[in-house]
Amino acid sequence: MLPPSTATTLIALLVATAASASAAPNGWGWGGHTSATTTAKATTAKTTSTSAHATSTYSARPVPSVTPHPRNPGHCHQTPPSQHPRTKVCHVAALGDLQDDAPNIYAAAQKCNGGGTVILNEDYYVRTPLDLRGLSHVDLQITGNISFWDNVTYWQSEMFFWTYQNATSQWVVGGEDVNIYGYGVGILDGRGQAWYDAYAANALIKRPILLVLSALNGGVVSGLNMRFSGQWYNFVANSSNVIYDDITIEGASTSSHVAKNTDGWDTYRSDSVVIQNSVINNGDDCVSFKPNSTNVVVQGLVCNGSHGISVGSLGQYKLEYDVVENIYVYNISMSNASDGARIKVWPGLQSALSTDLQGGGGSGHVLNVTYDTFYNYNNDYIIELTQCYGQSNLTLCNEYPSSLTISDVHFRNFWGTASTKYKPVVGTLVCSSPTVCSDIYATNITIPAQTGATAAEWRCTNVNTTNLQVNCVAGL
């Protein structure tokens, strides 16, 4: 685990190093649940607190300025407050004693819809589904703590649902120009331990994602502390023009049951997304670009204990065409991970990665992806490109190769160390056939051999090795 002081130092180091990084490659062309909205009775949201400890009128905090920097996919921006003024303020008084605050939060969001600020500065408890979709010009200012009820049995039939990988959540946010500001103190607590333990007993249970943005056009999420998600921490689905900034993610299991599938971010069917300036301690992908993620920038992240920053997995669903295009990953510190940079594609036949995750046989393409300025510490693979994801039988992968094409991919300015797990191999670039991969480049890769190895070796198959400035060893 990296303490904040170390994280800050690493980001400063990477920013200084990035000043000498080369420009983007040629072609980089840019600078569920179906039930009705919550119907439970709700106390009318008020602009003054009705709790016993305060009666003064609440005022909204100044809106923090959030700008994609240094890279921007071209469309991401924060809506100027003057363009759609927030003229209403709605404070939610917590009920306390573990009572359900979801109806009151919903009522406040509706009252402030169309130009208002919802103030959440106390300790809240969500016990029922909270649907905050369809909002417009609303800011949620979370300077308190929102915790989610961890009754696994209750939530199995009550969560919002997305067909893709059976994604579920206890609340969802969407609409136009909807922002969530935590000011560095706001907390979302998924109370994940119950889910980690339940998943160990039954891998098919539904587990909640901590925050889902669905059908959101224009929004900022900043200054939040995300803790103990039951599954992924963030799912950005069917959305556009979204910026995440200054997020901390933390939450390990306290029992023998490991916290599984705790991705930091998953983007899906979304365009123009920026994720930046954040610290992530988790146990799965730090960021994952799921199918139909386009024009995404990830920059200034410190990731620890993860599965890397990943394209995919892709090709999971037969007869579906997956697209990932125009991805820029920049100025990253990755430590104690299974992978640094990763592209993972299912083979051409159905395979089972685990009880709750099977797939293969889909098609699509990956185009114009860059990983640039990437520090590695003790990562098993510095770079992994595979089209045999989820299948341990290499013979079957060769017999049923993936048809998904991968082209115009650049790995550059990588340095640091690999773990000894695959010694002497430090990376693998393996395509299913030479016809599906083209223009794969690895330049300025500085990774020494692990202790006891004479040279750092790379597994390179069905790729043009003249474009790879790494030690490709035949027969690996």
Q: Which residues are catalytic?
A: 284, 307
* Three-class SS state of 402: coil
Handedness of CA 396, 398, 403, 407 (dihedral sign): positive
Residues 90, 108 contacting (CB under 8 angstroms):
yes
Amino acid letter, residue 467 = N
Handedness of CA 385, 388, 390, 392 (dihedral sign): negative
- Minimal CA–CA distance to 369: which of 271, 293, 286? 293
Handedness of CA 158, 254, 302, 457 (dihedral sign): negative
Phi then psi for residue 380, to 5 deg, are: -60, -50
- Minimal CA–CA distance to 296: which of 337, 253, 265? 265
Q: Quick one: the chain helix, strand, coil %, rounded to 5? A: 10, 45, 45
* Three-class SS state of 45: coil
Which helix (H) or strand (E) element contains residue 187?
A: strand 171-189
- Beta strands of 336-448 (E only): which ranges? 339-345, 351-354, 357-359, 363-379, 381-386, 405-418, 425-430, 437-446
- Beta strands of 44-149 (E only): which ranges? 88-91, 116-120, 123-126, 130-142, 145-148
What are the angstrom distances between the C-alpha of 95 and each of 101, 106, 122, 386? 6, 14, 10, 51
**Looking up tokens 């921006």, which residue turns up?**
77
Cross-strand partners of 119: 91, 141
